[in-house]
Amino acid sequence: GAGVSQTPSNKVTEKGKYVELRCDPISGHTALYWYRQSLGQGPEFLIYFQGTGAADDSGLPNDRFFAVRPEGSVSTLKIQRTERGDSAVYLCASSLGGGADTQYFGPGTRLTVL
Amino acid sequence: AQSVTQLGSHVSVSEGALVLLRCNYSSSVPPYLFWYVQYPNQGLQLLLKYTSAATLVKGINGFEAEFKKSETSFHLTKPSAHMSDAAEYFCAVSESQGAQKLVFGQGTRLTINP
């Protein structure tokens, strides 16, 4: 079946602009996660949704970052007033439930802020 | 707070030799432990996971890992390396109670020499 998909695969923007990154989870998966991976580092947790609600947003670095999942399926990560330090690969994962359920990762969106 | 330390950002072995990738974790509650692999230009793929059943866990592609509570370790091994094993490997931990997020190590890049 189809895996987790993310669009766009690459996004180049200018400092100060607004960007939206989209994640389509595996059908039927109730849990959805966003991570950020900087060059040479492991992925870093940003936010976790269970259904439509953000169950844990402790990883969002500041109030420029926001994510939604209005119908419990597709999620959008929104970044306002982008900064060069936001450049990274943004990864989305989904799992059937929470706990030890395997998180399946998408290919990521590479964001470059010039 | 949880953390993961992967000893050695780069490991190089000869084809046919033993692969050993080290992972140590810290967690205040019983952990779930994971190894993910990232092939060039591909997303993260689960190799294996420990969820408090058998301490020796077998995964895909001939890899296995042993949970050692006394050493807070979850090292990844494979008896005989193949050229196709060249990739980046990430160890991750999550809490067995409460938080669903994965905390990743910095990763180990495995190179296989012919």
Rounded Cα–Cα distance for residues A77 and A54 (Å): 12
B107 in Cβ contact with B7 (< 8 Å): no
Pairwise CB contact (< 8 Å): B42 & A107: yes
Residue type, A112: T
What digits encode the pLDDT tens for the residues A64-108?
999 999 999 999 999 999 999 999 999 999 999 877 789 999 999
How does B33-71 read in b/e, with b if 16+ C-beta sit within 10 Å?
A: bbbbbbeeeebbebbbbbbeeeeebebeeebbbebeeee
Chain B residue with CA closest to A90: the answer is B43
Q: Count how many pairs of residues, chain A against chain B, have C-beta atoms within 8 Å.
A: 61
pLDDT averages per 10-residue partition of chain B, 114 residues? 92 97 89 92 91 89 94 96 96 79 95 96
* A57 Cβ under 8 Å from any chain B Cβ: no
How does A49-77 read in b/e, with b if 16+ C-beta sit within 10 Å?
A: bbeeebebeebbeeeebebebeeebebeb
Mean pLDDT over A20-36 rounds to: 96
A4: which 2 tokens? 């987790």
Q: Which pLDDT score, from 0 to 100, does residue A99 have?
A: 74
pLDDT value at A1 more than 70:
no
Contacts of B49 in chain A (CB under 8 A): 100, 102
